[in-house]
Structure 1
Amino acid sequence: MPEQQTSDLEVKDAQVIFSSLWQELEHELGRKNMRFPKEMILLGGAPGAGKGTNTDYIRKVRDIVAEPIVMSSLLNTPEMEALKAGGNMVGDREVVNILFREMLNSRYREGVVLDGFPRTKVQVEVIKMLYDAMIELRTEFANTKYAVHFKQPIYHIMILFVDEKESINRQMHRGREIIEHNKRVRESGKGELLEERPTDTDENLARNRYTIFKEKTYDALLSLKQFFHYHLIDAHPPLDEVKANILSEMEYQSSLELDPRTYDALSPLPLASDITTHARRDLVYRLDRYEIGNQDLFHKVIALIENKIMPIIKPHAISGRALINIEDALLSEPLALSMLIDIFSERGFFASVDVHLLEVPEHFDVTTGKIHCRHKKIYRINIRFKGSEIRIG
């Protein structure tokens, strides 16, 4: 019971903070200017997990141009320093206030990576309230000229995770590298000194930092899992593998990004992944069906490829590309074109066909001055395949 009472109190605190701050901002800016980022990635990471290393890649994957908002830097502003110098704590209201005002900057309009927020249960509740408020604004302005500024919000929870042992090892390794770097700078007088943090040189402090991450940041973000899109990235492997994990998690998210009405309109069309999943099986089925149900046409297409097309392709074995123009009437049959593409696919080639209709002059009527033409179909077959490697030496 006491735990539930604490939770209720935190929710109430969040409601008071959010409501008062929202009213304050709305009074200053006007409701139509409450334009928060369309996409927000709430990024958390164990110490040494590589947040700084991977943030730019995360932004690249999600096409986010703006620099990340790093809460630790945001709270080092003169305003916050003055607050702390006066003996005051930087509480949830101060944190939310400075964050909201920063996010309303137009440079974050399309998206932002938020590093270090939320860190408390009150902040967790505030972020949920912000999402609900953005949905409300979107509904309110849906049929107005301001609709373009209030898009479907997308929130991601992303955690880069390493265990305690790996975290401590990485912090200690970083500390040794920084100390060695600073030693070289002092001796040579060249370069810039890097910050030497106690947590990077004292194992007990590094362990304590990891504990704080698990008990505060990790738990805060994990509590949002049921509300927003959640990504737990294993950050133990080498950097390239971690990037591959990030890409596979976030590369294709159309059902999350699109307006629900747009998504419903597009949903009858298959995803590329749906088509490719059983592509080989379907290809085999079609080829067998050609042989059984359209044998005569099928064998004519095979003969056309063998006798007229392959002799042109073979000299292009090094480049792996060939463009063939052909006029054979056999290809006027639509099924024959499908067969041709499937046959090449089965043999490991990538084939595409464009049909060009040309007018060829046949004779000139001296009486009327009219030129009589016949129509000629040219089939341009573009063939690609893995070319041969040329070895030198």
Structure 2
Amino acid sequence: MSEPVPSPPSVRSTLAVADLEIKDAQLIFSAVWADLQERHGRDGLRFPREFIWLGGAPGAGKGTNTPFIAQARDITAPPIVISALLTTPQAVAIKNAGQMVGDREVIGLLLQELLDPQYQDGVIVDGFPRTKVQVECLKLFYHAMLELHAEFRSTGTARFHRKPMFRISLLFVSEEVSVQRQLSRGREIREHNRQVRESGVGVLLEERVTDLDPELCRKRYMGFKDTNFDALQSLRKIFHFHFIDAEGDLPEVQRNILREFAYQSTLELSPEVFDLIQNIPVATQLGMHARQELVSRLETYGEENEELFRQVVKLIEAKIIPIVRTHAMSGHAQINSEECLLDDPLALRMVIDVLWERGFHVTVDIHRVEVPERIDPETWAIICRMKKVYRIEVRYPPSDIRRGH
């Protein structure tokens, strides 16, 4: 047998550091988790269901886009900003005691804050994880929440221990864009403060040295790449990962956000529930090829059902469009029709398709009405016939009339 080839010293040292970080994370998380259980009890560990762990390059627009992300995910609670968390009375007390606010303290402060009931339905955490130890603690936190979910799922408090959903979200811009935006922000703040000092009106804003020097801007960007970016990237294969291009203007960035957070059942539902409903199409998927399918149907009508198609078009021109024209001001017309042609389901579908192709929004309801026809002379019972009334509702852009003042 051949002798195993030893790893190079650099590889061994890297593995040793990684092992040490994992052990540190396990010690830190175990201590924080034990402290939380002692203070709140197992059932009192009621964390949010949805977490968005948000990171972003300097100048990527986290502050601008965080409210938009929250709205997109129906999160009403304010974000937890790690840098702000380190200025809370608890963090200040730690500093005043002569201790450093390291990973152990950050994780303790964060998990305690997450127990606030306002975050129960969802939360955005800005600026975590930043270190490899914090990454490992995040994984341990997820598995601890899964244990809580399994433990309480058949109890009366199951709704407080739902299966967690972690989303890693990264607002990304290139180094060049980041530096430009940082410097632009520095100029705007400096000009704002100059006007406040001259007028005595307004509030002075913090002027960051890093927003005024290109080299410091670059250094700050590289710091992000070496810490926060790498930390979030390492979770890509474990949790739902959203890489959001934030280089465009605000509307473009927000379109990117909406696209990234589009509804995906496979991410949010349990496998059992998803299996039951997966054959029902998602609304956005229905619209993807709707135009092409509409055109194909119309062409088929003209080729395979030409005579019926001609009758339908004449009906639309003679009976429907005149009523639609009279309601052009409102953009909403309702037509009741007893045309026997519409009794043919294919003809009814043709009416809808033709109007949709011409830009109208159409819905059709079929109402069945009993109409007295005769009286049975022997029983004096009223004999009725069933009349079908097709109620066609048509909506379209209303007339835009400019009025003088």
- Partner residue in 1 for 2:177: 166
* Aligned residue pair count: 393
Amino acid at match of 2:49: K
Which segment is superposed worse, 195-204 or 113-122?
A: 195-204
Normalising by structure 2, we get a TM-score of: 0.90
Match of 1:188 among 170, 181, 199: 199
- Partner residue in 2 for 1:329: 340
Superposed, 1:1-393 pairs within 5 Å as 1-362=12-373, 373-391=384-402
CA distance in 1, matches of 2:178, 2:317: 61
Which segment is superposed worse, 273-282 or 336-345?
A: 273-282
Task: Show CA shifts across 1:309-342 (max 9, x none).
Answer: 2222233344433211111122223232222212
Unaligned 5+ segments in structure 2 are 1-11
CA distance in 2, matches of 1:162, 1:291: 52
8 A Cα contact 1:152 1:258, kept in partner? no
* Partner-residue secondary structure (3-state), 1:131: helix
Normalising by structure 1, we get a TM-score of: 0.92
Quote how far apart the aligned CAs of 1:31 are: 1.6
Amino acid at match of 2:86: L
8 A Cα contact 1:14 1:126, kept in partner? yes
Task: Provide closer, same or farther for how the CA distance between residues 185 and 346 of structure 1 changes in structure 2, counting only shifts above 3 A.
Answer: closer
* Partner-residue secondary structure (3-state), 1:32: coil
Amino acid at match of 1:276: G
Task: Show CA shifts across 1:340-386 (max 9, x none).
Answer: 21222233322210111223345678998865544322111011234
Which segment is superposed worse, 260-269 or 114-123?
A: 260-269
Superposed CA RMSD in Å reads: 2.3
CA distance in 1, matches of 2:296, 2:195: 67
Which segment is superposed worse, 277-286 or 176-185?
A: 277-286
Task: Provide closer, same or farther for how the CA distance between residues 237 and 366 of structure 1 changes in structure 2, counting only shifts above 3 A.
Answer: same
Unaligned 5+ segments in structure 1 are none
CA distance in 2, matches of 1:359, 1:58: 54
Task: Show CA shifts across 1:233-277 (max 9, x none).
Answer: 222211111111111111223221223222221101112233223
Quote how far apart the aligned CAs of 1:28 are: 2.2
- Partner residue in 1 for 2:6: none
CA distance in 2, matches of 1:368, 1:150: 67
* Partner-residue secondary structure (3-state), 2:43: helix
Amino acid at match of 1:52: G
CA distance in 1, matches of 2:159, 2:230: 35
CA distance in 2, matches of 1:297, 1:169: 64
CA distance in 1, matches of 2:177, 2:286: 41
Quote how far apart the aligned CAs of 1:203 are: 3.0
Quote how far apart the aligned CAs of 1:178 are: 1.7
* Partner-residue secondary structure (3-state), 1:31: coil
Quote how far apart the aligned CAs of 1:291 are: 4.1
- Partner residue in 1 for 2:4: none
Amino acid at match of 1:141: F
CA distance in 1, matches of 2:187, 2:286: 51
Quote how far apart the aligned CAs of 1:187 are: 2.4
CA distance in 2, matches of 1:279, 1:80: 56
CA distance in 2, matches of 1:17, 1:135: 19
